[in-house]
Structure 1
Amino acid sequence: MYVRKKRRQMSEINVVPYIDVMLVLLIIFMVTAPLITQGVKVDLPKAEANPLADDSKPPMIASVDAEGNYYLNMADDPEKPLDGVELATLVARRLQKEPEIPVVVKGDGRVAYDQVVQLMVLLQRAGVPSVGLMTDTPEQK
């Protein structure tokens, strides 16, 4: 006669399936995270912004006026309006010479937000790694 041994019950939890699910979720989040964070990274201006350091290089200032015209302070004629392609070309050339130069966007208060965003997209396509926003200091009450 065959004697069957009694098995002891195992009281451990098998966590292998949970680890598999967690790794799949990790891969999904790693793939989708860059897709979710599209757009231009900016820190919105606060009431009192810190000025650029005095020892830094003079910044390249890309401006958009109330009519939506673009200007660049380091262009041949800073007072002459530029189209998007000209602005991007000038910025890209300048960045090739001086890759560490700070870039600042100066937008008129009356210009549509869309125009400022379009300017920032042009700068991003020209190779600008980060953009600062120029503000006026608020008047003290």
Structure 2
Amino acid sequence: MQVQNETKPYDTINVTPMLDLAYVLLVVFILMTTASVQGLSITLPKPSNKPSTEKHELKIVQVMPGGQLMLNGAPVSAAELEQQLLAAKARDAGLTVAIKGDGRAHYEPVVQVVDLCNKLGLNMALVTSRIGS
């Protein structure tokens, strides 16, 4: 019996050992991940106060490009705005004022509305729009 010593180049690559290794690594990662998650204990902080379920009044003050003021869509002067906000605060102490300053408006009228809210002791929020909107 003769053994022929022919050296042929391989046409294909045997990927079976590489797939076996990949499956073993996958199983190891799955087991390690589930084991670490099950053993993880987290102590979440407790809230310092109860969430508020109260409904409070919201007033929207708009500062238009020319400096005009609008309260919930109705034009008002600065004196009328102060009177209406005082009356609303008397009805609801938790009143919130949302201030919407137009991008073309001067800065001074917006600051005056912020100062008025500070003077009256009101909660306030500055409303902005997204960039590109």
Could you say which TM-score interval applies, normalised by the shorter chain? Answer: 0.5 to 0.7
% identical aligned pairs: 26
Flag the structure with higher strand content: 2
Unpaired runs of at least 5, structure 2 = 1-53
CA contact (8 A) 1:64 1:116 kept: yes
**Which sits farther off after the overlay, 59-68 or 129-138?**
129-138
Q: Distance in 2 between the 1:57 and 1:94 partners?
A: 10
Q: Which residue, 117, 121, 130 being the options, matches 1:128?
A: 121
Work out whether 1:99 is the aligned partner of 2:98.
no
CA contact (8 A) 1:84 1:122 kept: no
Per-residue CA deviations over 1:91-115 (Å, capped at 9, x if unaligned) read 0000110111221111000111111
Note the C-alpha offset of 1:58. 5.3
Work out whether 1:117 is the aligned partner of 2:116.
no
Give the length in aligned residue pairs.
Answer: 82
Higher-Rg structure is 2
Alignment RMSD (CA, Å): 2.6
Per-residue CA deviations over 1:9-53 (Å, capped at 9, x if unaligned) read xxxxxxxxxxxxxxxxxxxxxxxxxxxxxxxxxxxxxxxxxxxxx
TM-score by length of 2: 0.53
Note the C-alpha offset of 1:124. 2.6
TM-score by length of 1: 0.50
Flag the structure with higher helix content: 2
Tell me which of the two structures has the higher relative contact order, counting C-alpha pairs closer than 8 angstroms and 6 or more residues apart. 1
Q: Distance in 1 between the 2:57 and 2:129 partners?
A: 18
User: Which residue matches 1:137?
Assistant: 130
Query: 1:104–1:124: structure 2 CA closer, same or farther, 3 Å change rule?
Result: same
Unpaired runs of at least 5, structure 1 = 1-54
Q: Distance in 1 between the 2:76 and 2:127 partners?
A: 19
CA contact (8 A) 2:59 2:71 kept: yes
